[in-house]
Amino acid sequence: MIYDYPVLNAPIRQGDVFVGLPRVEVSLRSIQVLEKDGQIAECEWREIAQDREEITAIFPLRSVTAIVATQDCDASRARDITLCEIRSFRDVDRKSQNTTSAKSWKNIITQHARINQKWFYLPPDDQIGFHNKMAVDFMVTLRVPRDELEELRDLRKGRLNEVADEHFRERIAEFFRRYPYDEWYPLNSEELQAYTSEYPGTQAFHWQETEADS
Amino acid sequence: MSSSAPIRYEQAMDRYRLSGSANWKCDEGVALNPTAKVGAPPWRFQHFAGLALFVASSLSSCVDPWVHVQQQCAQVTTMVAAFRPYRRRRISALEARAMALGILHRAEEGRERLAQKEAERGINWEEMS
């Protein structure tokens, strides 16, 4: 499909898919700290930040599949590599949970992909181990040391081919270039009314109020 | 951990919340309940959850000049402020493990909830086919 299968000693690149990397979860409300006497204590992160000390703590982690997001130039020399988690497409985009028809999938993969910038579609591939449709979730990132990831290149099961890699690069860049805006700003009074009926509490812009008055 | 953005420490707890450079948003649904039993984690690709030790540095390795200046200014006005005393609560290893796994599960549940909320908005692709 859209994947290449690099040799074991190939350098790590953006678009490389690794199976079995740690995703750590952190709660700022509850940190489990290993004290100097070997005891464990729970505290909030703000206390640690205020104390300005190095601490050893316990964090939960899960082994996940992930794709290298770090650009190639950094992936070859930076201390850390950033990856985004890959999960089942139906989990990342819940709208597709009951999707079955090819036409619907076509709509989602092509058109919806242009609208929703938060994920990147990955088709199934037996060699990588994707038995279902998958998606890169841009919202969930991992960070691992580059040199240690290089030692674990046997966990790399494939990478995006040239076409997919270029698309991935542009899509992830778009994701981080998003900015919040009130989507109803260009609606006329009739359209705004329809919008407000679905999203009550919408505050019209002054030019929309002016149009309504006139 | 490093940050080049200003982090205010010297603020009275009864008026301000300490804030970092970003809008700290803890994992959704976090509720401290150290005695809660943790169910088996959901299986995705036969992965497993584990606990790991990390050395966490609480601050950047070098001093942010902005922070240093702020602290000097803040000292005069905030020395008399009432600070909430912090206490670290001693817990057992089992409690720590349960807490950590609870954090992991709540984080994942939070993501699922958000994905569900987003799915309830927007175009229904099944209806369009």
pLDDT along chain A (214 residues), means of 10: 94 97 95 93 91 88 96 91 95 81 82 76 95 94 96 97 94 86 89 89 88 62
Closest chain B CA to residue A28: B26
Residue B100: band (very low, low, confident or very high) from pLDDT cuts 50, 70, 90 = very high
Beta-carbon contacts of residue B19 (< 8 Å; ≥ 6 apart): B7, B8
CA distances from B117 to A210, B31, B51, B112, B120 (A): 33, 21, 30, 9, 5
Question: Is A61 within 8 Å of chain B by CB?
Answer: yes
Place of tokens 């350098």: A11
Q: Which residues pair with A122 in a beta bridge?
A: A134
Between A209 and B35, whose confidence is greater? A209
C-alpha angle A104-A109-A112 in degrees, rounded to nearest 5: 85
How many angstroms away from the CA of B51 is the closest CA of chain A?
5
Calpha distance A108→B84 (Å, rounded): 51
pLDDT bin (cut points 50, 70, 90) of residue B70 is low
| pLDDT score, position B71 | 55
Cβ–Cβ contacts within 10 Å for residue B75, how many?
Answer: 10
Tally of CB atoms within 10 A around A118? 17
pLDDT recorded at residue B67: 54
CA A10 to chain B, closest CA, distance in angstroms equals 26
Q: Do A27 and B30 touch (CB under 8 A)?
A: yes
Residues of B in contact with A112 (CB under 8 A): 123, 125
The one-character DSSP state at A10 is S
Residue B57 contacts A where some CB pair is shorter than 8 Å: yes
Q: Kindly list the residues from chain B whose CB atom is less than 8 angstroms away from the CB atom of residue A58.
A: 51-54, 96-97, 100
User: What is the distance between the alpha carbons of residues A210 and A212, in angstroms, rounded to a whole number?
Assistant: 5
Q: Which residue of A has its CA nearest to B108?
A: A25
Please report the pLDDT score of residue B96 as a whole number.
94
Residue type, A159: R
- Contact between A65 and A19 under an 8 Å Cβ cutoff? The reply is yes
**Residue of A76, A89, A86, A82 lying closest to A19 (CA atoms):** A86
Helix (H) or strand (E) holding A57: strand A54-68
Rounded to the nearest integer, the mean pLDDT of chain B is 58
CB contact under 8 A, A42 and B100: no
Give the residue with greater pLDDT, A37 vs B52: A37
Instruction: Give the span between the Cα atoms of A159 and B56, in whole angstroms.
Output: 32
Examine the predicted complex and report whether its ipTM is higher than 0.90. Answer: no
A178 touches chain B (CB under 8 A): no
Residues of chain A positioned with their CB less than 8 A from the CB of B90: 39-41
- Chain B nearest CA to A51, separation (Å): 8
**Runs of H (alpha helix) within B9-92:** 65-78
In which band, very low, low, confident or very high, does the pLDDT at B17 lie, cut at 50, 70 and 90?
Answer: very low
Taking the C-alpha atoms of residue A45 and residue A39, their distance in angstroms, rounded to an integer, is 18
What secondary structure letter does DSSP report for B26? P
Identify the CA nearest to A101 among candidates B128, B126, B122, B119: B126
